A and B are shown apart, each in its own frame.
Chain A
C-alpha cells in the first residue's frame, strides 16, 4: 500500500469515529448522564440541608468527596504522562493513545475541580480561596497547601486544555475540508488557519516540545501538591515525606489503568483496531506493571517504616489499625487490586486477552480509589486522641455524589470523543511515513 493510501486510511478511520453514533453510544451517554443527574440531585440535598447528610463527624472531617477529588486528580495524570513525557522520550507508541489520554486528563480535572467546592459546608464561599482584590478584609494565606492546590489545579487545567487543543490543530485541518455542516465550522475554528506549510510545522513542532517540557514537571508538581494537603499536617498516617512520590506513582498507575479501561472498548466500538493495535495495549499494560511495582514498594516502605517505631508511636498505631482494624478488608483489597492484579499482566497470555486486561485495569481503578479512602479516612478516624476515635461510613448521599462524578466524567468524555479527533492524525501519519 502506498504512503498516500495509508495517510488517507488514517483520515478515513478517524472520520468513521465521527459518524452518527450507534445505539450503544446513546445508551452509554444516557447512562452516564443519568448517573451525573443522580449525583447532582444527591448534592442538592447537601446544598439545601447541609453536611448532616454525610457520614462526617469528628474527628473525620474529610470523607468521600475528598477521596473522589484525589482519585480524579490522579486519573488526570496519565494523559499528560502518556502525551508529554513519552513525547520527550520519543516513545512512538504514544501516537495511537495520546489524544484519548489528553481528553481524559481535561475531563478528569473538570470532574476533580468541582469536588472540593462540593465538600464545603458553604460552597457559595468557595471563591474565597482565590487571590481576588476585595473589600472583605480577607486575603489568602500562601503558606497553606489549599492555596497551592487552587493554583496548581487551575493552572493544570488551563495548560492541559492548551496542550490538547494545540495537538488538535493539524488534525482539525485534515478533517476540515472533507467535513460538512456544523462540524466543518468546528474544525475550521480548531484548525486556526492551519495549512501545513513548512514554516508552520517549524514553529509547531518546537512549540509542542516546549509545552511538553513544561507540562511534565507540572504533572509531578500537581500531585505532589495534592499530597502536601495531607503531608504538611501532623495527623499520623499523613505526616510523611514519602507522600509526594507515593502520590505521583499512584496517580500514574490509576491514570494508565483508566486509559486502558476506556481504550479497550473504544477501539472496538469505533473500529480502530488497525490504528490502536494489540501492541499499543501491550505496551500500556507494561507501564501498569512498572507503576504497580513502584506503588507496591511505597506501600511496603510506609508499613515497614511505621513498624520500626516504638509500640506507642501514633504512626505505628495508625498503620497497624489500617492493616488489622475495621477498615482492614479495604486495605487488603487495595493491595490485591494494585499490587497483585497487575502482576498477572506479566503473562503474555493475560496481556493479549482484552477481557482480562480490562478486568485487571478496572480492579486497579477500584484499588486506587480504596487507596485514597484508606489514606484520607483511616488516618483521621484513628488520630492522636484515643477518646476521639470513630468509624466513618459514607452516607448514601455521598455515594450518590461519588457515582455522579463517574457519570459526569464519562458523559463529558463521550461527548468529547464525538467532537475532537480521537486519534492524533498528524502523528500517526508521521509514524506511518517513518515506518516505511
Chain B
C-alpha cells in the first residue's frame, strides 16, 4: 500500500518529540506520531480529540439491557413456571441477568470499536512502518507542507534520524 509522502523523524526523548510536533503544527503541517507507550506529552502535542469509542460502548450496553430484559421477561411469559409463589415476571432477579448481559454486550461493542479504530489508525498508509516505534523510539511523521522546512524543524528539535517517505 503506498505511503503518503512526508518526512519521518525518530526521537529518543519524548520532550524533544513533543516540541517538534508543536513546532510542525504551528507551521501548518499534518503531524502524526508512533510510540511504544501512550506518552502523555506526545499525545497532548498531537492534540487529537478524545476518542469517541464510548458511543459504541453505550450502544452495546443499551443493546445488552434490551436483550437481557427480553430474554428473561419474554421467555418466562412464554414458558411460565411457578416457583415459590413468586411472580412469573420477577424484576429483582431479572435485573441480575440483564446486568450481566449489559456488561457482555458493552464489552463486545468496545472490543469491536477498538479493533475498527485500531485497524484504521494502524494502516501503513497512515503511518510508515518501523519496528523501533514499538520498542525504543518515537516516530514523528509530518506531511502536507514544505518538506525542507519540516526537515529543518525536526533536526532543530533533536531528532536522531530524519528521512523522506516514501
Question: Distance in Å from the Cβ of B130 to the closest Cβ of chain A?
Answer: 9
B111 interface residue per 8 A CB criterion:
yes
Q: Are B34 and A197 in contact (CB-based, < 8 A)?
A: yes
A214 to B110, CA, bound (A): 10
One digit per residue, 1 when the CB lies within 8 angstroms of any chain A CB and 0 when it does not, for chain B 121-141 equals 110001101010111110000
Chain B minimum-CB-distance residue to A169: B118
Contact B48 A210 (CB under 8 A): no
Contact A196 B35 (CB under 8 A): yes
Partner of A195, one of B14, B38, B115, B133: B133
As a 0/1 sequence over residues 408 to 436 of chain A, the CB contacts with chain B under 8 angstroms (1 = contact) are 00000000000000000111011001100
**Taking A200-B118, A203-B117 as contacts, is the C-beta distance between A159 and B137 under 8 angstroms?**
no
A130 to B48, CA, bound (A): 45
Least CB distance from A191 to B in Å reads 8
CA distance A218 to B64 in the complex (A): 14
Check A11/B135 contact, CB under 8 A, given A200-B118, A211-B110, A214-B103.
yes
Closest CB in chain A relative to B44 CB, distance in Å: 11
Contact of B121 among A8, A170, A200 (CB under 8 A): A200
Instruction: Give the residue of A7, A139, A204, A426 whose beta carbon is less than 8 angstroms from that of B114.
Output: A204
Known: A199-B48, A429-B37. A152 touches B100 (CB 8 A): yes
Q: Does A225 contact B (CB under 8 A)?
A: yes
Number of interface residues of B (CB under 8 A): 63
Question: CA of A204 to CA of B43 in the docked complex: distance in angstroms?
Answer: 13
Asked if A142 is at the interface of the complex by the 8 Å CB criterion, the answer is yes
Binary contact readout B58-72 vs A (1 if CB under 8 angstroms, 0 otherwise): 000000000000011
Interface string of A139-151 (1 = CB under 8 A from B): 1011110011001
* Contact indicator A194/B13 (Cβ below 8 Å): no
Evaluate contact between B53 and A206: CB separation under 8 angstroms.
Answer: yes
Using Cβ atoms and an 8 Å threshold, which residues of chain B touch A197? Answer: 32-34, 121-122, 126-127
Question: Nearest 6 pairs between A and B by C-beta?
Answer: A199-B121, A203-B117, A177-B131, A206-B51, A429-B37, A207-B114
- Excluding A4-B137, A159-B103, A198-B121, 6 further A-B contacts by CB distance (< 8 Å) are A3-B13, A155-B104, A192-B115, A197-B127, A198-B34, A215-B107
Question: Can you list 21 A-B contacts with CB-CB less than 8 angstroms, sorted by A residue number?
Answer: A3-B14, A7-B37, A142-B72, A142-B90, A148-B100, A159-B107, A169-B118, A177-B135, A193-B122, A197-B127, A198-B121, A199-B126, A202-B43, A203-B113, A207-B113, A211-B111, A214-B57, A215-B103, A217-B103, A430-B37, A433-B37
Residues of B within 8 A of A (CB): 12-14, 32-40, 42-43, 46, 48, 50-51, 53-54, 57, 71-72, 75-76, 79, 81, 83-84, 86, 90, 93-94, 96-97, 99-101, 103-104, 106-108, 110-111, 113-115, 117-122, 126-127, 129, 131, 133-137
Measured CB to CB, the residues of A under 8 A from B are 2-5, 7-8, 11, 131, 139, 141-144, 147-148, 151-152, 155, 158-159, 162, 166, 169-170, 173-174, 176-178, 192-207, 210-211, 214-215, 217-218, 221, 225, 425-427, 429-430, 433-434
